[in-house]
Each structure stands twice: as structure tokens, then as C-alpha cells.
Amino acid sequence: MSGHGFSTRAIHDGQPADPLTGAVNVPIYASSTYAQEEIGKHRGYEYSRVSNPTREALEENLASLEGGTSAHVFSSGMAAIAALVTMFKTGDHVICGSNVYGGTPRLFDQIIAHYGILFSYVDTTDLEQVRQAIKPTTRLIHIETPTNPLMQITDIRAIADICHERRAAGQAIDLSVDNTFMSPYFQRPIEFGADIVMHSTTKFLNGHSDGLGGVLVATTPEHKESFEFVQKCTGGILSPFECFLVLRGVKTLAVRMKQHEVNGYAIANYLAGHAKVPQVYYPGLPQHPQHALAQRQMSGFGALITFETGSLDNANAVLRRLRVCTVGESLGGVETLVSHPATMTHAALGEEGRARIGLTDGMVRISAGIEDAEDLLEDLEQALSVL
């Protein structure tokens, strides 16, 4: 439904009424295989690791929402990132943002590097650092914006321009953006020149904390072919059951994201005015150093807020007192989730790695849910009174 608005595409793209029954939801095609009338004569489906109608519906939908040409779903966000780097060969080089989800460098350094693929970590908010890190063998720049959990913003268009310059000089180099934090509702990296968009669909796209998943959105036939081949060869695809959950989640993405942001903004403002909170990281606050850039490339500021409590003990004391907010890993669900990055998402970085990116033991990250804002603020008020 090109030409239609975001919400219309979220509800309709990839999921017309079922031609057999008129059902308004795409059925869960729970079938590993498909009958053939004679050898090689089938209706487009042979085996579900290769293709499945429920998965295809979701893939078409997500490609539309991100403005890509195809999408390819995997069993988790990490499986999608693993699929992304299987495009490379021994000797190829990847530049990764230094301040991304901790599982990403863990995968790169502790598994993929064993195959002779080289990784450099740079602060991608500093374009000069990115330029300096590029080698003739660099095949990918992988960024996350805003970063997890410090909410730093990388200029997507500027990094895409660097890639385009190199491509004009004959180098095969792509920009991939982990868009998990913003969802396509608030940020569409392909519009700024990104080549590949990645999501943990576990978060806002699913939105209900009831299924893991990941997606790679492509913009070229070469990447489409490559990602389909990985799905077929490694089999880390999303099951039709989970595809159904994401399809259902995506239908309400726009309304959920609006409410997530209302609550995120209310919480960030409240924390910014709290006498015992020395620092709040939220791109929607005018005092955020990259507020103007955030306004340029995002149509909203999202639901993720990080704040400083001063120490691990303080963070723990606050988390223990929460009653409405749920303490736990993950983000992007309808419920407000509060996490402790140093011991959860970024534990794998180690103390030194966390110090390098400025992640302290006192930091607490909130993923604002869509509950009533006043209940969330009341809960935070009573929890922070311990400081």
C-alpha cells in the first residue's frame, strides 16, 4: 500500500484478508512442509525453513514500514545480527559503535572474530573517528542510535555519506542501523541513506514482551539474496507462531509509540527536576547535547530514559522499592521495565569496557510502558525517596 500512511500500512501491508475464508488476520501456517502435485510442482512453498506464508506476511509488512525492499526475520535480534555478519569473509573489517547493546560486541569478539573477521569499536557520534577507522577492507559500519543506555545520537545521514563516498571510490561498504530503540514509527534510517536496518522485534515491534525475534531489512537484491540464503542455510528463522505475534503487535505500533513517548517524556522531565538525580539521558530534553540532531532525524524521542543514582547501592535501593514498574531485562513492552545496565545488558563488557563508554554502576534505565503516567511518576517518587 505504497502512498498510504504509516498506520494504514502497519495494519494492511502483507496481510490482506485471507483469500480462502476472508479472515482478517493472516493464519498461523503451522506446517513444516507443503504437498506437491508431482515432483517439483508446488504452490510456491516447499519447506518452512525456506519460506512460510505467515513469515512472508510479516516480512512484507516490516519492509514496508522501514521503507526497504525486503525484510528477513530471525529467531531473535542476536540471530539477525549474526546473519548480518555472515555476509563477510576472513580478512573483512567491520566498524561497530562503541556504545551499542552489550550482546553485539560479545557476539563479534567472542564468536565471529574466530573466523578472521576484524572489528573496530568507535564513538560513531564523532565522524572523524569513523573516517579514521575505515580501512580498505572495511565492509560494514554498524551503528545504534540512540545508543543503549546512554542515549547518544549518531548522525545517520553523515555516516551514510561517508559510506557513499567510499562506494564512489570502489569500496563495497554498507551502513547498518540497529533501529530497535526507536522503531520505524519514530525513525526510518533508510530515508537517511542506510543500507540495512536491523531490529530486535522482541522490543517495540512485538510490544507485549511475549516473544523473541529479529529482522534485517534490505535495500538491494544482493542483500535480499544473501539474507534469504542465511535463513535457508542456518535455519535461525522466526517461527510462524512468533511471526503472528509480531504481526499482531505491529498493528498497534503507532498508538503504542505515541503513548510510550508521552510517558517517556513525563518521566524524563520528572527525573530532570529531581534534586537527588544528578544526570538524566533523554534526547527529548532540550539540555541533551544532541537534541537538535535528534529532532532532525527522529519524529519522536521514544520511551528510553537513563538516569544516574550515584552508586550500585543507590540503584539497588531504588529498584527494590518499585511497585508498578517491573525490574527486569528488555524494553519496548507495554509494561514499564526498569533495568540496571551494568549488571544486565552490559555485564558482558566488563568493568573496563563499561568505564570506557562512561557507563556507571549507578545508572538505571527505564523503558516507559503505556500505563497511566501519574501511576508511574508516583511509583518513581516513592522509590527515589530512598536516596
Binding to ligand PLP (CB under 6 A) within 222-251 occurs at none
Per-position b or e across 279-308, b if 16+ CB within 10 A of its CB: ebbbbbbeebebbebbeebbebbbbbbbbb
Does position 148 interact with ligand PLP (CB under 6 A)? The reply is yes
Nearest distance from residue 258's CB to ligand PLP, in Å?
Answer: 21
Binding test (CB under 6 A) with ligand PLP, winner from 73, 107, 173, 212: 212
Using CB under 6 A as the binding rule, whether residue 214 contacts ligand PLP is answered as: yes
Up-side HSE of residue 50: CA atoms within 13 Å toward CB? 6
Q: How far apart are CA 321 and CA 318, in angstroms?
A: 5
Rounded-to-integer distance, Cα 14 and Cα 25, Å: 10
Least distance CB 121 / ligand PLP (angstroms): 15
Closest approach, Cβ 160 to ligand PLP, in A, equals 19
Indicate if 195 belongs to the active site.
Answer: no
CA 358 to chain CA mean position, Å: 21
Q: Report if residue 77 touches ligand PLP, rule: CB under 6 A.
A: yes
Q: Which residue of the set 123, 178, 195, 361 is catalytic? A: 178
Q: Is 123 in the site for ligand PLP (CB under 6 A)?
A: no
- Smallest distance from the beta carbon of 90 to ligand PLP, in angstroms? 25
Structure-block grid coordinates of residue 223 = 542483500
Q: How far is CA 384 from the centre of its chain?
A: 29
Beta carbon of residue 41, minimum distance to ligand PLP (angstroms, whole number)? 38
186 binds ligand PLP (CB under 6 A): no
Q: Does 176 bind ligand PLP (CB under 6 A)?
A: no
178: annotated active-site residue: yes
Helix (H, G, I), strand (E, B) or coil at 304: strand
Pick the binder of ligand PLP from 73, 78, 82, 107 (CB under 6 A): 78
Query: Residues in contact with ligand PLP, total (CB under 6 A)?
Result: 16
Task: State the DSSP string of 254-278.
Answer: HHHHHHHHHHHHHHHHHHHT-TT--
- Report helix angle 53-66 to 240-251, nearest 10: 40
154 lies in the site for ligand PLP, by CB under 6 A: no
Distance CA 234, CA 74 (A): 10
Least distance between ligand PLP and beta carbon 74 (Å): 9
Name the residue type at position 53.
P
Distance from C-alpha of 21 to C-alpha of 29, rounded to nearest angstrom? 14
Task: Using CB under 6 A, pick the residue from 178, 242, 308, 379 that binds ligand PLP.
Answer: 178
Quick check: is 41 catalytic? Answer: no
Cβ atoms of residues 193 and 156 within 8 Å? yes
Instruction: Note whether 200 binds ligand PLP by CB under 6 A.
Output: yes
Q: In the window 341-370, what residues touch ligand PLP (CB under 6 A)? A: 345
Active site residues: 49, 101, 178, 203
